[in-house]
C-alpha cells in the first residue's frame, strides 16, 4: 500500500467512523462510550498563543477532560503527523511537546496502553527519531509502532456504517 492509498483509505475510514458516531449513535466494540455529551458550543476549540502542551491542556478542559474520550483500561492509538525526517524546529511534524501531553492525558484518564504510529513519507525510523517524537513517546511510557507495512492493517466491518460512492 503506498502513502496515497493509505491516506485515501484513512480518510474514508475517518468519514465512515465520524458518520457512524455522529449520526447513528454507534458506540460498539470499537469506540469508547463518552461519559457525557459535549455541548454543541464546543464542537471545535481553538486556543492560540502559547506552547502546544499548555494549549492542549486548556482545550481538553473545555471538552470535560480526556476521560470524555478514554475509558479506564482502554488501549489508545495516537496518530500524529510524523511524516517527515526533520527536527521539531522545522515544524514539519506534530510538535513532540503536544504528543507527550496527549499521552500523559490518556494515561491519566486510565488508558492501559498508548501506541503512537504514522505512515511516513520519509524513512519511518529516521522520522520517528529526528522528529523528537520517539523519545517523548518512550519517556512517557507509550510505545512507538511502525505503520509502514500493509500486514499491520486489517479490514473490519462497521455494521451501522455507510459506504460513500465517488460521484
Do residues 103 and 69 touch, judged by C-beta distance below 8 A? Answer: no
Kindly give the pairing relationship between strand 143-146 and strand 113-118.
parallel
Per-residue model confidence (pLDDT) at position 81: 96
In the chain, domain spans: 1-31, 44-149
Per-residue model confidence (pLDDT) at position 74: 96
* Global model pTM greater than 0.85: no
Second CATH level (architecture) for the domain 44-149: 3-Layer(aba) Sandwich (3.40)
Per-residue model confidence (pLDDT) at position 29: 39
Question: What averages of pLDDT result for each successive group of 10 residues across the chain (167 residues)?
Answer: 62 48 40 48 83 95 93 96 95 96 98 95 94 97 89 85 84
Distance (Å, rounded) from C-alpha 119 to C-alpha 75? 19
Amino acid at each position: 500500500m503506498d502513502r496515497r492509498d493509505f491516506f485515501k483509505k484513512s480518510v474514508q475510514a475517518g468519514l465512515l467512523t465520524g458518520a457512524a458516531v455522529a449520526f447513528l449513535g454507534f458506540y460498539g466494540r470499537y469506540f469508547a462510550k463518552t461519559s457525557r455529551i459535549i455541548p454543541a458550543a464546543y464542537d471545535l476549540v481553538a486556543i492560540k498563543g502559547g506552547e502546544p502542551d499548555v494549549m492542549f491542556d486548556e482545550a481538553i478542559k473545555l471538552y470535560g477532560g480526556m476521560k470524555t474520550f478514554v475509558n479506564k483500561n482502554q488501549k489508545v492509538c495516537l496518530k500524529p503527523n510524523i511524516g517527515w525526517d526533520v527536527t521539531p524546529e522545522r515544524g514539519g511534524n506534530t510538535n513532540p511537546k503536544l504528543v507527550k501531553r496527549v499521552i500523559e492525558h490518556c494515561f491519566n484518564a486510565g488508558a492501559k496502553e498508548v501506541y503512537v504510529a504514522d505512515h511516513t513519507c520519509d524513512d519511518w525510523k529516521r522520522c520517528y527519531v529526528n522528529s523528537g517524537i520517539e523519545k517523548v513517546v518512550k519517556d512517557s511510557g507509550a510505545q512507538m509502532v511502525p505503520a509502514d507495512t500493509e500486514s499491520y492493517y486489517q479490514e473490519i466491518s462497521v455494521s451501522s456504517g455507510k459506504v460513500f460512492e465517488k460521484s
